Amino acid sequence: MSITHKIKETASLALKALYQIDVEPKSILVNATNVEFEGDYTVVLFAFIKQLKKSPEALGNEIGTYLVENNISLFSSFNIIKGFLNLVVNDSYWVNFLQQNHSNNSFGKKENTGKKVMVEYSSPNTNKPIHLGHLRNNFLGWSVAEIYKTNGYNTVKTCIVNDRGIHICKSMIAWQMFANGATPQSTNTKGDHFVGDYYVKFNDAYKAEIEKLVSDGMAKEQAEKEAPIMKATQQMLLGWEAGEPAIMQLWREMNGWVYEGFDVTYKTIGSDFDKTYYESNTYLLGKKIVQEGLAKGVFEQEEDSSVWIDLTNDGLDKKIVQRRDGTSVYITQDIGLAQQKFEEYGCDKSIYVIGDEQNYHMKVLKLICQKLQLPSADGIEHLSYGMVELPTGKMKSREGTVVDADEIVAEMIAISKQRTEELGKVKDFTAAELQQLYTTIGLGALKFFLLRVDPKKRMIFNPEESIDFHGFTGPFVQYTYARIKSVLRKLEVAISTMSEVKYSENLLKLEKDLIINLEQFPSIIEEAANENDPSKIAIYVFNLAKTFNSFYVEHSIANAENAEKKILRIQLATFTSSTIKTAMRLLGIDVPERM
């Protein structure tokens, strides 16, 4: 049980004993004490002042006195600032906590709850490589799944691949027109890059044809429809839907090239999936549900045979769920897939990691599923995230200005190499060890930078800024971990002969700050899971590393004032290193033993 839970429980008991009122512990507000005041944790009293008809000072004094006198091992003193009761937690509590947990490598991990969560992320198109925006998506999805797992859930990681539609046919048509039989193998090009190049070639050719038609006197809107390459693409899509053998063979071959490329990128960035769904297999899902919705009166059929749902009373608008020709739309496919996922896995939660441009779509999806009374409905959650931009501005895949994932990763590793060599502390590393270190630091910097920001916020990614060994970055945390491990290696003899002691001295401020920081880790994991927000972990582990560095600058471990202090500080260093390692792992980041 965390210290905040203990304080809530003791405060609840105090209210019962002093005033005969029953207050649920969870309804009592407890915060870390403001740094301007003495204390560790603060009980907010305003909710009880009016009910008990007491002044804040009188109420605080009575509750504070009761807590200190009846919880001698927990509280040593208190003070009152208006309606805030500031409590000082006994040093013995913190020392006991440290001694019980310093060697617990599973600290923060909850017992399995039996609940299950599905996290869907990545969702690439097979007409272009995975790009910078996909990286934020992948890192968020993978991290959220790991946070839930540590928080006691069984997790299922899934991906839906958008492998059909007009955008796929654009790459296929361009390949037929311009490739002259070239393949990724014949051009020595990674498969997803190869196909993506033809998507750009399509757009270039399409724009040129439109310009010619307009120069010949056609209106631009009409030219966009009449451009020969677009007409050929639309005809190819009809052929795909009809299952024409030649088109299907080319589609399978080009998608195969892309999947080979995706696999390389996923392995490099550390993304993995328990189940991959393909839109070509799911796009017909939902037709049965439309019929069921019509029977229930959830949907309405128009005179032209199209099917709609009216959501105006819910603050939204009318939404088509089936075209007049009987074909499904995206929302229908998503309803069908949501149902299929639930039937396959029966998850309590289904989290969709999708950009904020789909906020409205996801509201509609959940609302329709609820109106249909699908068992999957209430568990649908949208992890909405903002766009990633470069300092130079937005990226556009059609124009070939998107920075793909492979390029970003390679650049990060190159910057990592340059910065590490500038520090000059790796002269005893082998070539293989150096390459591994550069990769670990480069990927760590990339992941940390993209995850340290609240997912809902848009962000600008600056590769140079992300690899700063002194800033709010992954390398700063990694360097702190390596520094601690170096200290502990030098103290191996002392650690091997170390025994538990009854610590009798008062804790110094930075010793206490570090223990308090460590104790909060399980609560941070729980908060990150509840809010689907890995930035909570990133901010926490950065602050933990910063606190340790402040402690280490002020207080020696190897040359501590006495044996008791030395043991305490070794335990602090050991506990901090394992907590940093666990927290960074939740972000998908490795920490090197040496830097």
**Integer Cα distance of 398 and 403 in angstroms:** 12
pLDDT value of residue 156: 98
The secondary structure of 543-593 as a DSSP string is HHHHHHHHHHHHS-STT-SSHHHHHHHHHHHHHHHHHHHHHHHHTT----S
Q: Report CA Rg, the chain.
A: 29
Nearest CA-CA partner of 87 in 103, 71, 102:
71
Instruction: Give me 128's structure tokens.
Output: 């272009």
Please name the residue ranges forming H helices in 1-131. Answer: 3-19, 46-52, 56-70, 91-101
Query: Domain ranges in the chain?
Result: 3-89, 116-300+330-389, 411-586
pLDDT value of residue 401: 55
pLDDT value of residue 83: 92
Nearest CA-CA partner of 440 in 264, 268, 590:
590
**Integer Cα distance of 218 and 212 in angstroms:** 9
Q: Is the Cβ–Cβ distance between 87 and 43 less than 8 Å? A: yes
Instruction: Give me 287's structure tokens.
Output: 């037709």
User: Side by side, which strands form the sheet with 154-161?
Assistant: 275-278, 154-161, 116-120, 349-355, 380-385
Q: Is the Cβ–Cβ distance between 352 and 383 less than 8 Å? A: yes
Measured torsion, CA atoms of residues 472, 458, 465, 428, in degrees rounded to the nearest 10: 70
**Integer Cα distance of 198 and 182 in angstroms:** 11
Question: What proportions of the chain, in percent to the nearest 5, are helix, strand and coil?
Answer: 60, 10, 30
204 alpha carbon, distance to own chain's centre: 36
The CATH number of 116-300+330-389, from 3.40.1170.20, 3.40.50.720, 3.50.50.60, 3.40.50.620, is 3.40.50.620
pLDDT value of residue 465: 87
Burial class (CB in 10 A: 0-12, 13-18, 19+), 82: exposed
Nearest CA-CA partner of 59 in 87, 80, 40:
80
For the chain, the maximum distance between any two Cα atoms, rounded to a whole number of angstroms, is 93
**Integer Cα distance of 346 and 374 in angstroms:** 12
**Integer Cα distance of 37 and 232 in angstroms:** 73
Q: For strand 300-301 and strand 388-389, is the pairing parallel, antiparallel, or unpaired? A: unpaired
Instruction: Give me 461's structure tokens.
Output: 């990614």
CATH number listed for the domain at residues 411-586: 1.10.730.10
Measured in degrees and rounded to the nearest 5, phi and psi for residue 250 equal -65, -40
Per-10-residue mean pLDDT of the chain, 595 residues long, equals 94 95 95 93 94 93 95 91 95 93 94 97 93 94 98 98 94 97 97 96 96 95 96 96 96 97 97 96 86 94 94 95 88 93 96 97 96 94 92 54 84 92 84 95 96 95 86 96 95 73 81 96 97 98 98 95 91 97 98 94
- The answer for residues whose C-beta is within 8 angstroms of residue 42's C-beta and 6 or more apart is 30, 31, 32, 33, 34, 84, 85, 86, 87
State pTM to two decimals: 0.92
Q: For strand 30-32 and strand 41-44, is the pairing parallel, antiparallel, or unpaired? A: antiparallel
The CATH number of 3-89, from 3.30.1300.10, 3.30.1360.70, 3.30.930.10, 3.40.50.300, is 3.30.1360.70
Neighbour-count burial for 285-320, b at 16+ CB within 10 Å, e otherwise: bbbebbeebeeeebbeeeeeebbebebeeeeeeebb
**Integer Cα distance of 570 and 491 in angstroms:** 8
Q: Is the Cβ–Cβ distance between 442 and 416 less than 8 Å? A: yes
DSSP bridge pairs for 32: 41
Using alpha carbons only, give the angle 63, 66, 69 rounded to the nearest 5 degrees. 150
Q: Is the Cβ–Cβ distance between 367 and 325 less than 8 Å? A: no
